[in-house]
Homo-oligomer: A and B are copies of this chain.
């Protein structure tokens, strides 16, 4: 029997019609039966990162998020591009997950990134900056495929499924490669930690 793989989706937007949230839900529909992709909610309720809140003052929302992400096998981040970069919501989520220093749950975590926009560039500038951030967090970031979902407003059907065939193949490849990376990460764990 194939082992269940649990992936969390982080959307960098809470806009009601967010293309990036839509993209994560579409990815969830494309995942094979042994892979579950759950889109995280409520990230906009975290405070802005502030070291004063670490330790005794840690907000419950942060503690809960760290625990949930720490228990996951991998992450897919889909952020809108604002001003050639990722959203503050994306960055804030990553910053909280990256601390405390050297104990953050993003370290060694398999991560895939993507992003959707109405324009043709599909968040390429934002994703480039995000790769630098995820290098800092010591995450295992998938290099390929690079998935820049341009013209995204026209790529979902009424049920929210991804309707563009070439793009859909890339999304499936993104999940496949992330799953492979997760499996490789597990194989490298000491056997008592692999589960």
Contact = CB atoms under 8 A, between A and B. Distances in A.
Interface in A53-104: 82-89, 91-92, 94-95, 98
Nearest to A85: B133
A96 to B, nearest CB: 9
Interface range, A side: 20 to 34
Interface stretch (A8-16, A157-165, A178-186): A8-16
Interface in A90-140: 91-92, 94-95, 98, 125, 129, 132-133, 135-137
Given A83-B133, A83-B136, A51 B125 contact: no
A50 interface: yes
Contacts of A86: 91
